């Protein structure tokens, strides 16, 4: 299937940020002919224009990447180790079992299921991140998209995150069910993270209808992106609620 290229918004500004990130030197061969450098999409998806997926390289190295002479793993490693880049890692995504009725789902990573145990129905997700940068970073915004899955007749490794105390809990509304809406949650107080430090925060999810809040129901996949200073961003692994994968088929329950 042919990949669809999406134009980079504010491309000049993005290029300037990427040039600063590589210090005007090709990170793969040390060329300094920065005027001819090209923007490469690390995951080979030309529609993914997040800064974390872009790297400024010289035309020669760009051609080598395209031919496979330079592997995607090598490019990812270079991006992660850029001295001027913001490098944030998701150490763990867990669920706050003590304060909500949600639980891990068959030990599937980042998959959670709603239990009928009398606890609050609003899922509370724990995000544990590590700042691998050599400087302090500021987390400024959380962006959330959702993909709802049809329910049918069934109804509805790193540092241990429990050793980290959540520094904040953010209550965020789920996007609407048409799969096209996005929730942008701007932090009132930015989170400042010193170099080489881990940090943990919580996100409590809810639905809203006619100005009333409701618990989360149904099967869905959540896509979180965390925005930092200097227009840097980090896309978290997918989170699954009441399902185990994106390709999970329709569940049919036979009624006797």
Domains of the chain: which residue ranges?
Answer: 11-80, 88-241
How high is the pLDDT of residue 50? 84
What CATH code is assigned to 88-241?
Answer: 2.60.40
Q: Does 83 score more than 80 pLDDT?
A: no
- The strand pair at 239-241 and 111-114 is best described as parallel
How high is the pLDDT of residue 64? 95
How high is the pLDDT of residue 179? 56
Cβ(219)–Cβ(242) below 8 Å: yes
CA distance 120 to 94: 17
CA distance 37 to 253: 56
Q: Does 193 score more than 70 pLDDT?
A: yes
How high is the pLDDT of residue 69? 94
pLDDT category of residue 154 using cuts at 50, 70 and 90? very low
How high is the pLDDT of residue 254? 44
Closest among 211, 204, 167, 173 to 189, alpha carbons compared: 167
- The residues, any chain, with a CB within 8 Å of residue 47's CB and separated by 6 or more, are 3, 4, 5, 6
Angle at 136 between CA 135 and CA 140, to 5 degrees: 135
SS3 content of the chain, % helix, strand, coil (to 5): 15, 35, 50
């Amino acid at each position: 299937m042919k990949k669809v290229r999406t134009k980079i918004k504010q491309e000049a500004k993005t290029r300037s940020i990427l040039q600063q990130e590589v210090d005007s030197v090709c990170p793969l061969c040390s060329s300094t002919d920065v005027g001819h450098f090209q923007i490469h999409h690390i995951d080979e998806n030309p529609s993914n224009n997040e800064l974390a997926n872009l790297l400024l390289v010289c035309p020669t190295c760009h051609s080598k990447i395209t031919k496979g002479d330079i592997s995607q793993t090598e490019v990812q490693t270079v991006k992660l180790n850029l001295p001027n880049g913001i490098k944030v890692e998701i150490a763990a995504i867990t669920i706050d079992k003590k304060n909500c009725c949600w639980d891990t789902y068959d030990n599937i990573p980042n998959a959670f299921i709603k239990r009928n145990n009398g606890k609050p129905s609003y899922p509370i997700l724990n995000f544990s991140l590590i700042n691998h940068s050599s400087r302090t970073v500021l987390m400024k915004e959380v962006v959330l998209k959702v993909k709802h899955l049809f329910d049918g007749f069934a109804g509805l490794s790193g540092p241990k995150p429990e050793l980290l105390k959540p520094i904040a809990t953010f209550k965020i509304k789920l996007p609407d069910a048409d799969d096209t809406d996005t929730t942008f949650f701007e932090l009132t107080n930015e989170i400042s993270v010193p170099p080489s430090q881990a940090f943990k925060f919580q996100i409590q999810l809810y639905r809203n209808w006619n100005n009333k809040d409701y618990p989360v129901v149904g099967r869905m996949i959540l896509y979180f992106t965390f925005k930092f200073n200097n227009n840097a961003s980090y896309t978290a692994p997918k989170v699954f609620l009441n399902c185990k994968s994106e390709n999970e088929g329709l569940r049919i329950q036979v009624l006797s």
